[in-house]
């Protein structure tokens, strides 16, 4: 997000804007603080007290969030109220409304929280500060977890076991009576554990690789176990596990002492064999790290044994083959790796490697053979992959400057409309004679219409947009009542055909409400009505509202949403 405050308020929608304005005027912003320059925190009183965070840089709103459960858009009334408070609080912001006296403001600009804390720390004695922290750790469990997670590395007892117990403690404290961690508590877990991983990152930067390893394994192991008894809908647990593996991968690629390399290698193999991460991509990530670390023939054999016996589905099978290739190339050199590729061309990654090398060395005949064999192999079961091999044929033809083949392959890929690796239309236009272009394009349109393919409309629409045939584009769009589709092409047509677009939206809304019920669908329909208003057809919307009231008098939620337009 990077938007001016005034533009941001316009995106909120009339109903949310009005409610937020009421909240602001009636003093629901009960506290407002600048945490540090450009970062603001507000408490807005609603059904309960909600925390709003705003980030403003050079007068533009960069980010905003609210702890309320509103999920019908990114902007809620609490955020609007906080933004309006900010407009009054900060010089240079335009005042949207007059405030009530109930919201008191300082005459001079307040110090930020960061500045206030700095001032206090400068005047508090070391002993007083220690005593305060100690008391908080004893009396406030949340503060205690945060403090210990942030400074455990400073203790003489830092160890993987210490970090494991810390993670377990965080998880235990988040469990409810049913031993399950609810969605609302998972965020707390994620934040506390992330603090530990930040320490691991710091250790990596300082070259303390053993300490980083000692944090990442306990975190990853305990987090993956927690997925069995936590609602990780927002991905806090999964993302922390990903981060732990990212750090371990970073360590594996660093210049390690033999002691650290061996320790990490053995730990990776140990976790793999224990199947702690079985069923997740992280089990494969362990093998990737093992391949990176393997150095001796004995180590390579251990890893190769795991790769060849890994229980997997097709996608993982392809990953295993690719890892085998990387291990062979690392241990035995390019010549042996090339032999392995030739024996495993059914692996898409290895076929791509072979194609890249053939093109790089100018062996276009071999490259064409590789691409055609891929098409023959994958056309029936993996048509999408077969199209990729056609794209490789196009690349080869362009390298050879074979105009006929370029047009043949680019036309096939454009008409199919499945892949978007290159701008096939631009390639066709570049290599087709200008005098033949009009007839050529009409031929493509005719061919596409015969296909009755799911992407037919979008492919033809691309032609009309590229050629700026707006009347034909409008005719094409008029053939559907699908609202998102109409909106997608609105930007190309709104200047020339606002009334026609408004009519299309109206027909789409009527059709949509015949099929859909429920408040979320009513809100979606009303969102499109607001688009009609922006097209300058407020009268049409008023008439549509009257029609819908007569048509659906029993749909109270719909009538409620219509009142907000």
CA separation for the pair 532, 505 (Å, rounded): 7
With a cut of 90, say whether residue 430 has pLDDT above it.
yes
CA separation for the pair 33, 43 (Å, rounded): 9
Polymer length in residues for the chain: 565
Q: How confident is the model at residue 104 (pLDDT cuts 50, 70, 90)?
A: very low
Centre a 10 Å sphere on the Cβ of residue 563 and count the other Cβ atoms it contains. 11
Q: How confident is the model at residue 275 (pLDDT cuts 50, 70, 90)?
A: very high
Average pLDDT over residues 356-367: 96
pLDDT-wise least confident of 131-135, 172-176, 201-205: 131-135
CA separation for the pair 415, 428 (Å, rounded): 11
With a cut of 80, say whether residue 198 has pLDDT above it.
yes
- What was the pLDDT predicted at 326? 96
Average pLDDT over residues 376-396: 95
Average pLDDT over residues 363-392: 96
In DSSP terms, 55 is beta-bridged to: 39, 63
- What was the pLDDT predicted at 419? 77
* Lateral strand order in the sheet of 49-57: 3-4, 60-66, 49-57, 39-45, 29-36
CA separation for the pair 291, 127 (Å, rounded): 51
With a cut of 70, say whether residue 142 has pLDDT above it.
no
In DSSP terms, 44 is beta-bridged to: 29, 50
pLDDT-wise least confident of 169-183, 232-246, 295-309, 528-542: 169-183
CA separation for the pair 216, 252 (Å, rounded): 13
Selected residue with higher pLDDT from 234 and 148: 234
Average pLDDT over residues 228-242: 94
pLDDT, averaged across the chain: 88
Average pLDDT over residues 128-147: 76
CA separation for the pair 389, 383 (Å, rounded): 10
- What was the pLDDT predicted at 115? 78
Handedness of CA 326, 328, 329, 335 (dihedral sign): negative
With a cut of 50, say whether residue 92 has pLDDT above it.
no
With a cut of 90, say whether residue 512 has pLDDT above it.
yes
With a cut of 70, say whether residue 293 has pLDDT above it.
yes
If residue 551 lies in a helix (H) or strand (E), which one and from where to where? helix 538-551
CA separation for the pair 289, 287 (Å, rounded): 5
Selected residue with higher pLDDT from 287 and 12: 287
Backbone angles phi, psi at 115, to 5 degrees: -65, -40
Selected residue with higher pLDDT from 379 and 71: 379
Tell me the pLDDT tens digit for each residue of 66-88: 888 776 666 889 999 999 998 87
pLDDT-wise least confident of 76-90, 136-150, 525-539: 136-150
With a cut of 60, say whether residue 244 has pLDDT above it.
yes
DSSP state of 554: T
In DSSP terms, 66 is beta-bridged to: 52
pLDDT-wise least confident of 38-47, 447-456, 483-492: 447-456
Q: How confident is the model at residue 273 (pLDDT cuts 50, 70, 90)?
A: very high
> What ranges do the domains of the chain cover?
3-117, 136-324, 358-457, 471-563
CA separation for the pair 69, 46 (Å, rounded): 11
CA separation for the pair 214, 264 (Å, rounded): 10
CA separation for the pair 300, 305 (Å, rounded): 8
Tell me the pLDDT tens digit for each residue of 327-360: 999 999 999 999 999 999 999 999 999 999 999 9
Q: Are 227 and 177 in contact (CB under 8 A)?
A: no
**Which residues touch 300 (CB under 8 Å, ≥6 apart)?**
294, 327, 330, 331
- What was the pLDDT predicted at 219? 96
Average pLDDT over residues 165-191: 89
Collapsed DSSP state (helix, strand, coil) of residue 294: coil
Q: How confident is the model at residue 106 (pLDDT cuts 50, 70, 90)?
A: very low
Nearest alpha-carbon partner for 357 in 344, 341, 333, 346: 341
Tell me the pLDDT tens digit for each residue of 470-480: 999 999 999 88
Nearest alpha-carbon partner for 133 in 151, 114, 115, 155: 151
DSSP state of 67: -
CA separation for the pair 478, 458 (Å, rounded): 13
Ramachandran quadrant class, 68 (left: phi over 0; alpha: psi -120 to 50; beta: rest) = beta
Average pLDDT over residues 244-250: 97
CA separation for the pair 201, 194 (Å, rounded): 10
CA separation for the pair 272, 533 (Å, rounded): 59
Separation in Å, CA 521 to CA 23, 72, 355, 369, 555: 26, 11, 49, 52, 12
- What was the pLDDT predicted at 243? 97
Q: Please tell me the pTM assigned to this model.
A: 0.65
With a cut of 50, say whether residue 154 has pLDDT above it.
yes
Beta-sheet pairing, 29-36 with 3-4: unpaired
Q: How confident is the model at residue 93 (pLDDT cuts 50, 70, 90)?
A: very low
DSSP state of 172: H
Q: Buried (b) or exposed (e) across 148-187, using 16+ Cβ within 10 A?
A: bbeebbeeeebebebbbebbebbbebbbeeeeebeeebbe
- What was the pLDDT predicted at 262? 97
Handedness of CA 258, 260, 261, 265 (dihedral sign): positive
């Amino acid at each position: 997000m990077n938007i001016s405050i005034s533009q941001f308020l316009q995106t909120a929608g009339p109903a949310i804007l009005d409610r937020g304005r009421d909240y602001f005027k009636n003093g629901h912003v009960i506290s407002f603080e600048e945490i540090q320059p450009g970062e603001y925190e507000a408490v807005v009183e609603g059904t309960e007290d909600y925390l709003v965070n705003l980030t403003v840089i050079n007068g533009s709103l960069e980010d905003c969030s609210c702890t309320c459960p509103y999920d019908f858009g990114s902007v809620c009334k609490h955020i609007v109220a906080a933004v309006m408070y900010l407009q009054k609080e900060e010089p240079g912001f335009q005042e949207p409304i007059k405030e009530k006296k109930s919201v008191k403001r300082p005459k001079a600009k307040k110090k930020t929280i960061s500045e206030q804390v700095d001032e206090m720390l400068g005047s508090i004695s070391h002993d007083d500060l220690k005593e305060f922290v100690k008391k908080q750790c004893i009396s406030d469990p949340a503060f205690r977890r945060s403090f210990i997670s942030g400074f455990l590395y400073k203790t003489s007892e830092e160890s993987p076991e210490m970090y494991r117990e810390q993670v377990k403690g965080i998880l235990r404290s988040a469990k409810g009576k049913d031993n399950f961690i609810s969605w609302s508590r998972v965020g707390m877990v994620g934040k506390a554990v992330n603090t530990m991983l930040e320490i691991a990152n710091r250790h990596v930067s300082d070259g303390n690789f053993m300490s980083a390893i000692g944090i990442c394994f306990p975190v990853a192991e305990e987090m993956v176990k927690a997925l069995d008894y936590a609602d990780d809908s927002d991905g806090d647990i999964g993302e922390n596990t990903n981060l732990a593996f990212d750090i371990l991968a970073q360590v594996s690629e660093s210049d390690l002492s033999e002691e650290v390399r061996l320790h990490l290698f053995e730990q990776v193999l140990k976790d793999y064999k224990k199947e702690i991460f079985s069923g997740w991509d992280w089990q494969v990530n362990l093998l990737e790290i093992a391949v990176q670390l393997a150095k001796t023939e004995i180590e390579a054999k251990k890893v190769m044994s795991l790769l060849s016996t890994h229980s997997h589905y097709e996608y993982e099978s392809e990953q295993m083959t690719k890892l085998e290739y990387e291990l062979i190339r690392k241990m035995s050199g390019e010549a042996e790796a090339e032999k392995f590729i030739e024996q495993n061309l059914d692996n898409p990654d290895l076929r791509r490697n072979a194609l890249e090398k053939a093109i790089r060395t100018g062996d276009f005949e071999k490259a064409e053979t590789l691409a055609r064999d891929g098409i023959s192999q994958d056309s029936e079961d993996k048509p999408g992959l077969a199209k990729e091999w056609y794209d490789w044929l196009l690349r080869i033809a362009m390298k050879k400057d074979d105009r006929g083949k370029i047009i043949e392959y680019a036309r096939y890929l454009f008409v199919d409309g499945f892949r978007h690796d290159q701008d096939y239309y631009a390639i066709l236009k570049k290599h087709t004679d200008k005098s033949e272009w009009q007839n050529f394009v009409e031929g493509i349109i005719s061919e596409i219409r015969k296909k009755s393919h799911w992407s037919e409309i979008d492919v033809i629409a691309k032609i009309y947009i590229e050629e700026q045939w707006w009347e034909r584009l409008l005719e094409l769009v008029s053939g559907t009542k699908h609202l998102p589709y109409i909106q997608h092409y609105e930007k190309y047509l709104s200047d020339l055909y606002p009334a026609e677009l408004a009519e299309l939206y109206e027909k789409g809304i009527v059709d949509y409400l015949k099929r859909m019920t429920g408040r979320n669908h009513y809100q979606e329909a009303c969102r499109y009505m607001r688009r009609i208003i922006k097209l300058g057809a407020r009268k049409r919307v008023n008439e549509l509202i009257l029609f819908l009231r007569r048509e659906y008098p029993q749909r109270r939620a719909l009538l409620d949403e219509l009142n907000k337009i």
